[in-house]
Structure 1
Amino acid sequence: MHDPDPAFGPLARDGLVDRVAGLMAEAIVAGRVLPGARLSESTIARDLGVSRAPVREAARLLENSGLVRYRPNRGFFVRTLSSAALDNLYEFRIVIESAAIARLVARGDVEALLPRLDAQIAELYRVAEAGDDMLRQVEADMAFHRLICEGSGNPRYLAAFDQIANETKLGLMLIGRLYDSPRRMAGSHVPIRAAIAARDAQGATAAIEDHIGSARHMVTERFRSLEEGHPA
């Protein structure tokens, strides 16, 4: 039967695989396709108005980014996360972003980056004031951190960040919130910006480690509560 409310709409054909992957990732992160759900290539292809081949290639890209898993003879399924997997993910983020911010302060164009960081912090506050759109908050948060990896000047840090970004977003969306208020989430980025502006490599590294470490603790603890059947 045709789904009366499909998760996807028809798609033009330029940059097809990347666009299909982007739409599938967005649907998964936003919760329109739930963890554990099977990704039906035929259904997605029909909804997007494309053949199954680009859907299959897009699913392979999402497998590389940690959003889906392939089961032989069964197909692709949205990944089911665990508190242990998220803890490992945040540990990896600390390694990447600590190295990126140290390189940024030592060798990056700090003066060029600061206005972009300021604009992103302003966006975090704007989203916080706008309401409880968790996806927009998460995307604004990740955009700030991506700027640091980009500003480091080492494309390897940026590539590693991009590979785990969607998995990080999915974990945050599944727990529903991180800080008690969106404004607190926005404000938690200010000390990082201040240390970068001061060109304090040690302070910047400590700030990013504290920021991501706090998020690591909150995310894993809340996810562990969900695993144990205690949503609160």
Structure 2
Amino acid sequence: MRLLSPPVGLPVLSESDLVRQVARRLTDAITRGDLPPGAKVAEAAVARELGISRAPVREAARLLESQGLLCAHPRRGFFVRELSPADIDDLYDLRLCIERHAAVEAARRLDAPARAALRACLDDLYAAAQRDDAARTVEADYRFHRKICEIAGNGRLLRLFDGLATELKVVIGLIGRLYDDPHAIARTHEPVLAALEAGHAERIVAHVDHHLGVARREVGRLVRALSPGPEAP
């Protein structure tokens, strides 16, 4: 386990809703890789770095635990959840079910404002790559996929996708480790948008399958590489 002892670049907070702000800062640190899987979230260190008391840090940790991002160990504190290859498979199985359907439905509703909104998400991805901003890349990548679900027009489907938000952002952060060129992440979304614009259902599903399938395979490989091996007897 790695301890959170040195500062990781968390900005000082000054506004009122501290718990959600702390949760957001910790989520960003996790998706950037500053807090890797298995790292301990030391309440005192985080509170000191953010310039606040420990109470909102503890509440934020509990919130992230409820979202599946942290796990608590009695008398030891909170740790960043370590995703297993099985977790990745389960997540991508569900993503495929949701996003295949969402993409086909979104294509049917893809008017000019919707098309512009998706292009804006991709522009944000390219802008984040230009700045080499890992946290912004994760957010822009997530927003592109969420926007497809939003355009699809099914509120229940969108809520289901939103329920995966925290885990998705962690996985998207892992994807960022697979590319030397951050612009490549943005470019992988271009065929998906092109397929939506073309409007052919079979082609849309094929591109969604390829886009998510590559990520599933490579993230699974990375998680297996990062997983500790069996302990020696």
Asked if TM exceeds 0.5, the reply is yes
Residue number in structure 2 paired with 1:149 = 149
2:61 is aligned, of 47, 59, 62, to 59
- 1:79 to partner: Cα distance: 0.9
Q: Distance in 1 between matches of 2:197 and 2:31?
A: 33
Q: Distance in 2 between matches of 1:210 and 1:37?
A: 32
2:40 is aligned, of 35, 38, 41, to 38
- 1:100 to partner: Cα distance: 1.9
Secondary structure at the aligned position of 1:70 is classed as strand
- 1:133 to partner: Cα distance: 4.6
Secondary structure at the aligned position of 1:69 is classed as strand
Q: Distance in 2 between matches of 1:26 and 1:123?
A: 17
1:84 is aligned, of 83, 86, 97, to 86
- 1:176 to partner: Cα distance: 5.1
Q: Distance in 1 between matches of 2:86 and 2:95?
A: 14
> Deviation string for 1:188-228 (max 9, x for gaps)?
22222122223333332332122111211121123323437
Structure 1 residue 198 and structure 2 residue 198: aligned? yes
- The amino acid across from 1:29 in the alignment is T
Secondary structure at the aligned position of 2:164 is classed as helix
Residue number in structure 1 paired with 2:27 = 25
> Deviation string for 1:42-82 (max 9, x for gaps)?
33334333343322221122123321012234332111222
- 1:136 to partner: Cα distance: 4.0
TM-score w.r.t. the length of structure 2 is 0.79
Secondary structure at the aligned position of 1:50 is classed as coil
Residue number in structure 2 paired with 1:12 = 14
Secondary structure at the aligned position of 2:78 is classed as strand
Segments of structure 2 that go 5 or more residues without pairing to the other structure are none
Q: Distance in 1 between matches of 2:9 and 2:22?
A: 12
Q: Distance in 2 between matches of 1:9 and 1:63?
A: 22
> Deviation string for 1:139-179 (max 9, x for gaps)?
33222112112222233333333343333333344465335
Q: Distance in 2 between matches of 1:186 and 1:8?
A: 26
CA separation of 1:21/1:133 partners in 2, compared to 1, >3 Å: closer, same or farther?
closer
Secondary structure at the aligned position of 2:34 is classed as coil
CA separation of 1:100/1:175 partners in 2, compared to 1, >3 Å: closer, same or farther?
closer
- The amino acid across from 1:85 in the alignment is D
Residue number in structure 1 paired with 2:214 = 214
CA separation of 1:139/1:45 partners in 2, compared to 1, >3 Å: closer, same or farther?
same
Q: Distance in 2 between matches of 1:218 and 1:202?
A: 24
> Deviation string for 1:96-151 (max 9, x for gaps)?
21222233234x453321011122223334444x2755444433322211211222
Q: Distance in 2 between matches of 1:190 and 1:160?
A: 25
CA RMSD of aligned residues (A): 2.9
Of 215-224 and 115-124, deviating more is: 115-124
- The amino acid across from 1:16 in the alignment is L
Residue number in structure 2 paired with 1:116 = 117
Q: What fraction of aligned residue pairs are identical, expressed as a percent?
A: 44
Query: Where do 4+ consecutive residues of structure 1 move more than 6 Å?
Result: none
CA separation of 1:218/1:45 partners in 2, compared to 1, >3 Å: closer, same or farther?
same
- The amino acid across from 2:162 in the alignment is D
